[in-house]
Amino acid sequence: MTTTLAGGRAARRQTMRRIRPRRSPAVPLLLAVAAGGAGVLWLWWVNTPSIADTGGRIVNAGRITGLLAGYLMALVVLQMARVPALERRVGSDRVARWHAMSGRYTLCLVIAHVVLTMWGYALQAGKSFGGIVEQTISSVNELPDMGKAAIGTGLLLVIGLISIGPVRRALPYDAWYHVHLLTYAAVFLTFWHQITTGNDFAVEPAAKTFWYALYGGVTFMVIWYRILTPIRLNLRHQMRVEAVIEETPGVVSVLISGKKLHRMGAEAGQFFRWRFLAPGMRFSSHPYSLSAAPRPNLLRITVKAIGDHSARLRELRPGTRVWAEGPYGALTAYRRSRGKVLLIAGGVGITPMRALFETLPGAAGDITLLYRANSTQDLVLWDELAKIAEERGARLMYAVNSPDGERPDISAESLKRKIPDIDRHDVFMCGPPGFAQSVYEALRGAGVPARRIHHESFEM
């Protein structure tokens, strides 16, 4: 049995309002971050006297690494706050990569700060490099808020360890996710010693005020967007599971009903983090894309069973309460800059592409969808796609393995044969990382500019 959701005209009218070429806000954001970093360096420079002894120089090297670590720590938390301006304009995938990169730099700076500061204090106390451990214990016991900072630093080390690629892939997603949330506790614990033991904040009241404002602003955004906004959304829309339908073996669609769901601000191509309040699933929150444009009282996700959580979706019962956070993602009409659009989907990556195929406005022949799967039996939602293509005059193609298992040719040459003017298209694609990389290279070889290839990837 398959689901069929039709009637995308209203969604196309809504989408038309968003199709205006815009500049990415990433550059001004990065410039603002760089300006803040320059301000931190200036604060350290003006408060650093000329020092002749080695211990003093090492301590001051510890100061600057500590200031930079504190600044980056605030940005790391900001990148976890799911601020709509970042999630929808910059893109969830890019923000996730920024978060991972900032976290690595922060951890390196924290380690450098601890080692350099304790080493410098040890030298000033007449001890050698080997006295770092003794000096660290002494500082934790004697200096204000250093005990909290030590615990927070330990948490950061644990979070950094589980975020290493092989370790993260070996852990269940839920375990990694919940341990990762300890970042908030780590930042809270390490913040106070920055104020109480930081010389720069003692001599520069304006700097202390800025630091409080920075961390206070980030804390406000976390509380607003991670806690209060989801509470408001779920109380307002009161979502429940309407039905669970098997589309193909191992792939199910979950229909979710609620009040005025079209007013959630969701667009085709976006995703929510879904929590189903059923036994064994209450504490798991996973991201799944919408596989159809939002209806006034109905949303749909289509999910392939590739893990414990996704495999259990088929067991959901009608009436199960649903808790959602979102919408997130920038794989939307916002990115479109050309009249003609090519959508490319690999496997269950068809879900956001199916929603875009339905809603992106265009004349007959403007919209093309290429669907890659292992076999025709794996072409999820194919009947819906065919109906949409017929109604809209859109072009629908598929690429599946041959009976002997040979993979189809998706190269620059084959793409140009099928779509001669491909270089004048915007391209949206979604699929496994290896598939996305090979298709990206083929598109570039076919003459499609990188700025018109739109893809979200969460591989870090």
pLDDT digits (tens, 9 = 90+) for 125-151: 888 777 888 888 999 999 899 999 999
- How much is the average pLDDT of 277-293? 90
Q: Where in the chain is the domain with CATH 1.20.120?
A: 26-232
pLDDT in tens, 206-251: 999 999 999 999 999 999 999 999 999 999 999 999 999 999 889 9
The yes-or-no verdict on residue 57 having pLDDT over 80 is: yes
pLDDT confidence band for 20 (50 / 70 / 90): very low
Average pLDDT over residues 364-386: 93
Q: Is residue 1 over pLDDT 50?
A: no
Burial per residue of 15-33, b for 16 or more beta-carbon CB atoms within 10 angstroms, e otherwise? beeebeeeeeeeeebeeeb
- 341, β-bridge pairs: 367, 426
| Mean pLDDT of the 150-160 span | 95
Q: Report d(CA 65, CA 71) in Å as an integer.
A: 10
pLDDT of residue 8: 53
The model carries a pTM of 0.82
Helix, strand, coil shares of the chain, percent, nearest 5, are: 55, 15, 30
SS3 label, residue 325: strand
How far apart are the C-alpha atoms of 412 and 343, rounded to whole Å? 15
pLDDT at 413 over 60: yes
CATH of 240-328, one of 2.40.30.10, 1.10.3720.10, 3.40.190.10, 3.30.1390.20: 2.40.30.10
Give the fold, CATH level 3, of 26-232: Four Helix Bundle (Hemerythrin (Met), subunit A) (1.20.120)
Cβ atoms within 10 Å, residue 366: 17
CATH of 333-454, one of 3.40.50.80, 1.10.300.10, 3.30.465.10, 3.40.640.10: 3.40.50.80
Mean pLDDT of 189-217: 91
**Model pLDDT, residue 16:** 43
Domain with CATH 2.40.30.10 in the chain: 240-328
